[in-house]
Structures are given as structure tokens and as C-alpha cells.
Amino acid sequence: MPSVIDPRPLLGEPVSLDLLNTRWTAGDEVRDLLTGPGGLTVWLEANGLAGRCPDDAAALEAALAAREALAVAVRDPGAPSPAALDGLNAVLAHGRVRRFVGPDGRPAEEVETDFPAWRAPWIAVDDYLGLLAADPPRIRACAHDRCILHFFDTSQNRRRRWCSMAVCGNRAKASRHHARTKEPRPE
């Protein structure tokens, strides 16, 4: 159970998109979990990384760099720009996966980073590579014009449009309804 309640409107996305979603809109205001006290702690706890990854100023700086790299990359996940590639590769250069045989004789792996602060950001960017390998078109931005959240569309028909039907989907429906009822009716 997290020690602080996570204020973000969209939870449960893959760790890469969850890092990206630490910025969201509330009305006309952009909120940022990582600028508030304890925000990194909340994000680490939400992704099962608390205790495994540091929660200090260096880790926050690394997380912000990874979030920016992801923000550039999601603009066009099917054809990343050179800036997106540079940003992602800069984060990935800080670590690797070490494979080994565990004490039980089974294959195991562990993330190793050059500095502990890069562990969580590296995990997030590595997760993004997994989403790209799985199906890049399923990485989507919410269709609401004022929403900046992203999600991985796991719907069977690949037609999910909203980060949340209850929030952004309803806003769009209400906006369409308002536009229809505002139009003058012919007499």
C-alpha cells in the first residue's frame, strides 16, 4: 500500500507510459507529480520500484531526463525522430540486463546501471522498447484535445481512444451534446 495517495487520473499503464503520465492536465492546468514533495516516491511505489531504486535528487533528475526522452519518442512511436532515438539511447547507455544462472539453477536476470539513480529510468525506457517490439500503434495519446496522457491500447479491436472513458470520453460526449443543443433549430 503506497504511503501517499497517487493523485494522477490514469494508473496501471506500463511503467514507461506511467512515467510519462506523471504530467497530466486538470482543467487548463498542467500538473506534475515529479515537482511536488514525495512525487518520485509515489511513482516508484506505484510501479513496484520502491526499495529497489533510489529516491533522491539524482534519481529525480534521471527520471525527468527519461520522461523527456519518452515524451519525444511517443510523438511518433512507429517512426522515431533522431532526437527521440538520441534521448532513449542516452538513458539506455546507463545500464544493461545481466543474465546469470540463479541459485536454483534457473536462468535469471538483473538490471545493472552505472549509477543507482538511473535504475528506475532505465527500467522505464527498457519497458518502452518492449512496447515498441510488441505493437507500436497500440501506444496512443488520449484523443481528448486537452489531455496529455498516454496509454497502451490492449482492447481487442484496437479502437480505444481515451485515457479514460469515464473522464475524457465523457468530456467529449458532453462537448458534442452541448454543441448540438446550442445550434439554432429551424422553425
pLDDT digits (tens, 9 = 90+) for 18-76: 999 999 998 889 999 999 889 999 999 999 999 999 999 999 999 999 999 999 999 98
Residue 2 counted as domain residue: no
179 has a pLDDT exceeding 80: no
Q: Name the packing angle between helices 119-134 and 82-92 (round to 10°).
A: 130
Instruction: Give me the number of domains the chain comprises.
Output: 1
The enclosing domain of 70 has a CATH number of: 1.10.3300.10
More reliable by pLDDT, 124 or 27 = 124
**What mean pLDDT do residues 125-135 have?**
96
72-100, pLDDT tens digit by residue? 999 988 888 999 999 999 999 999 999 99
In a domain, 10, yes or no: no
Structural domain contains residue 43? yes
Q: Is residue 3 part of a domain?
A: no
DSSP-based three-state secondary structure for 179:
helix
The residue with cell 534521471 is 62
